[in-house]
Amino acid sequence: MHISEICRVLLWIKKSSLRQEVLQLQLSGKASLKGMKNGVKGESGPSDDELTSEVLSHCSSASECTSVQEEVVGGEQVDEQTAQEETEDKLKQCIDNLMDKSAKTRLAGLESLRQAFSSRVLYDFLTERRLTISDCMERSLKKGSVEEQAAAATVFTLLCIQLGGGDEAEEGFKMLRPILTAILIDNSASIAARQSCARALGMCCYVSTAEEGEDLIKSLALLESVFMSSYPNKEGTLPTPKPGSPALHNAALQAWSLLVTLCPASRLRVLLDLHIPKLQACLQSSDVNYRIAVGETIALLVELGRDIDEEFEVEDSESMCECLKSLATDGNKHRAKNDRRKQRSVFRDVLHYIENEDFTEEKIRFGLESVYIDSWMRKKIYDAFKEILESGVRHHLQFNPLVRDIFGLGPPLILDATVKANKISRFEKHLFNSAAFKARTKQRSKVRDKRADVM
């Protein structure tokens, strides 16, 4: 029932009660007059003027109640519109702050935009201002401090996600890709800025809808050049990591593995033969986070290999399984307790998949919907978006058309009482999500096959 209908019902009830009160007053007046005529002393009854004034006061209060209800109904719309205008005014001010002379002001503007972009969908607002924001990001990446460079790369990545991966995002990525590349390969640049640029290259290339594979090839090769420095040398010995290098290698490997999910089968076969043996050696890395990233990447590559060839097997799989088993049961006391727990959990899952093709399914709820993470490829994509969107990932799963398309969720839902009453079962949701994701993957694979000649 609408609010206006509720108000009409309340007014009708009010009027009915008023009629009853008037009738009671009239009856009480007659009764008092009758009592006086019979010689019974009673309270003096109200006059006609008093009755009329009381009735008018009741009617006045009822009309005031109705007007208040109407103001509330209209006020909700006004408040919503006002809030939207205030939000846009704040965002405009943040964009203006990106051009301020003060580095502190620019950094504060970047942080505010990062929070806004990750927690809301702002396509209409950003489409008109994308060039201005991209110019500001370019300036910050070229001339900003370490913190400003890292923040600018993150905000630009969020901008690409907001723009939906269409022509606008592709245009911005082509403009900033050379700058992101220059910072990533610059050994004198800070680790934090290089990490942020690695993530930006991976995600921005992933959401770009360019049909040619040139950007994908360049980004893959660039990210490979970063994390391959952690590979063993000719003697089979792992190099001694420099301070901060494991974190950079981790970011580059994560971004690279995201882009690998876009590669056609012909390119995948080359990557599998080249990287799986080298990554197996990196399982002995001294950095726990890098070890975990390596383990998950191996599982992803094996899954992709099995997708293109049912008889795919890892070379020297027994040795790999022994290594994974030791990491899944690692109890070394010199490692932090939380690190040991996290490592054991991840490598148990990796080992189960390598041996039995068994993946531990995860369910992500958002609004009235949910998405099932039922493969290493799906997990890699979700983790990549979660890393950049942070706590806003569920909001984007619910409302961002690009993110919903990637996970096969269809257009954003418009919910009403009918939809809520006819929710499909959990099992049906799972089947629908899985089928939609596979169908989308096949469809995109057809487009990617066009890139095979370029690769």
Is residue 239 within 8 A of residue 233, CB to CB? The reply is yes
Q: Positive or negative CA dihedral for 388, 392, 394, 399? A: negative
Query: In whole angstroms, what is the distance from residue 169 CA to residue 204 CA?
Result: 8
pLDDT at 326: 92
Q: Which of 207, 224, 108 is nearest to 162 (CA)?
A: 207
| Model confidence pLDDT, tens digit, residues 288-328 | 999 999 999 999 999 999 999 888 988 888 899 999 999 99
Per domain, the residue ranges of the chain are 3-27+48-84, 98-211, 222-360, 363-449
The residues, any chain, with a CB within 8 Å of residue 203's CB and separated by 6 or more, are: 157, 160, 161, 255, 258, 384, 385, 388
In this structure, the number of other CB atoms found within 10 A of the CB of residue 69 comes to: 17
Is residue 165 within 8 A of residue 209, CB to CB? The reply is yes
Q: Which of 299, 303, 351, 360 is nearest to 329 (CA)?
A: 351
| Model confidence pLDDT, tens digit, residues 255-280 | 999 999 999 888 899 999 999 999 99
Query: In whole angstroms, what is the distance from residue 443 CA to residue 445 CA?
Result: 5
Q: With a cut of 50, say whether residue 182 has pLDDT above it.
A: yes
| Model confidence pLDDT, tens digit, residues 377-420 | 999 999 999 999 999 999 999 999 999 999 999 988 876 544 44
pLDDT at 148: 97
pLDDT band at 109 (very low <50, low <70, confident <90, very high): very high
Mean of pLDDT values over 83-111: 92
Across all residues in the chain, what is the average pLDDT?
A: 80
Which residues, in sequence order, are bridge partners of residue 370?
A: 365
Which residues, in sequence order, are bridge partners of residue 369?
A: 366
Percent of the chain at pLDDT > 90 equals 55
Mean of pLDDT values over 326-332: 84
pLDDT band at 219 (very low <50, low <70, confident <90, very high): very high
Mean of pLDDT values over 227-251: 92
Q: With a cut of 70, say whether residue 22 has pLDDT above it.
A: no
Q: With a cut of 70, say whether residue 52 has pLDDT above it.
A: no
pLDDT band at 190 (very low <50, low <70, confident <90, very high): very high
The DSSP line for 287-351 is: -HHHHHHHHHHHHHHHHHHHHH-TT---TTHHHHHHHHHHHHT---TTS-HHHHHHHHHHHHHHH
